[in-house]
């Protein structure tokens, strides 16, 4: 490969060109190669050649195993051929998606964990009470009775204040004090 490497393309750049052609390079390397390929036709040509090979390699068909081989294996192990069972169907639907791709499985696990934590932290269901008409009437009645009792207590308190406290303990002493003051002022 040495004959390919000119003054403009050193070994490191060649490695980058190959990586870019095979879609295996990071963003930075891609940018570097792209910029250099724009400026240098030699680099562009080499990149195109590698890209062509890479695309041809990636598009190579997979050869299928002849069915006779499969039957022979099933015969050898003494097992009946039964490729369409429930388990493989479920497994083949789930497994490739969740287990063969680490990024997808990690994302799925992340979403599940975040959902559970969010539900535990923030979900606070408010109890919804639905009262019957009878219960509402009973509550209103009890409220009325309670207010009547409170009203009665206030009335009794007012009466007690008027009859006992103010007249006996306040007015009496106040009158007495005023009489003393009056006597003193008149000069008795």
Partner 1 sequence: MLQSSKFDYLIEQHKNKIFNYSLYMVHNNMDAEDITQEVMIRIWQNINKFNFLAARAWIMRTTHNLCIDYLRHNKNQYQRELSIDDNLSERIEDKRNAVMPDDALDQSMLDKNIKRAVENLQERLKSPFVLYELQGFKYKEISKILDVPLNTVKVNILRARKQLQKDLKIYARAYLK
Residues forming the site for partner 1 (CB under 8 A) = 1, 14-15, 18, 22, 45, 48-50, 52-54, 56-66, 69-70, 72-73, 76-77, 79, 82-83, 85-88, 91-92, 99-100
Give the C-alpha separation, 97 to 107, whole Å. Answer: 11
Shortest approach of partner 1 to residue 69 CB, angstroms? 5
Task: Give, for 62, the enclosing helix (H) or strand (E).
Answer: none
Q: Choose between 86 and 120: whose C-beta lies nearer to partner 1.
A: 86
Nearer to partner 1, 58 or 126 (CB): 58
Q: Indicate the length of the chain as a whole number.
A: 188
What is the nearest approach in angstroms of partner 1 to the Cβ of residue 114? 24
Cβ-contact 33, 17 below 8 angstroms? yes
With beta carbons less than 8 A apart as the criterion, state whether 86 and 96 touch.
no
Looking at the Cβ atoms of 96 and 177, the one nearer to partner 1 is 96
State how far the Cα of 59 lies from the Cα of 154, in Å rounded to an integer.
96
Separation of first and last alpha carbons in the chain: 139
Q: Which is nearer to partner 1, 45 or 159 (CB)?
A: 45
- Tell me the closest approach of the beta carbon of residue 86 to partner 1, in angstroms: 8
């Amino acid at each position: 490969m040495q004959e390919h490497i000119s003054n403009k393309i050193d070994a490191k750049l060649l490695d980058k060109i190959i990586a870019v052609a095979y879609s295996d390079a990071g963003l930075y390397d891609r940018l570097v190669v792209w910029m250099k390929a724009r400026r240098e036709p030699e680099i562009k040509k080499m990149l195109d050649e590698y890209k062509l090979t890479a695309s041809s390699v990636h598009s190579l068909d997979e050869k299928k195993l002849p069915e006779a081989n499969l039957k022979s294996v099933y015969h050898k192990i003494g097992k009946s051929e039964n490729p369409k069972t429930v388990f493989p169907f479920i497994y083949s639907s789930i497994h490739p998606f969740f287990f063969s791709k680490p990024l997808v499985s990690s994302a799925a696990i992340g979403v599940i964990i975040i959902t559970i934590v969010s539900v535990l932290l923030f979900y606070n269901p408010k109890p919804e009470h639905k009262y019957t008409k009878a219960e509402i009437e009973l509550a209103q009645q009890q409220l009325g009775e309670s207010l009547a009792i409170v009203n009665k207590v206030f009335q009794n308190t007012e009466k007690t204040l008027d009859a006992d406290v103010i007249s006996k303990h306040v007015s009496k002493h106040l009158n007495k004090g005023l009489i003393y003051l009056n006597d003193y002022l008149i000069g008795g």
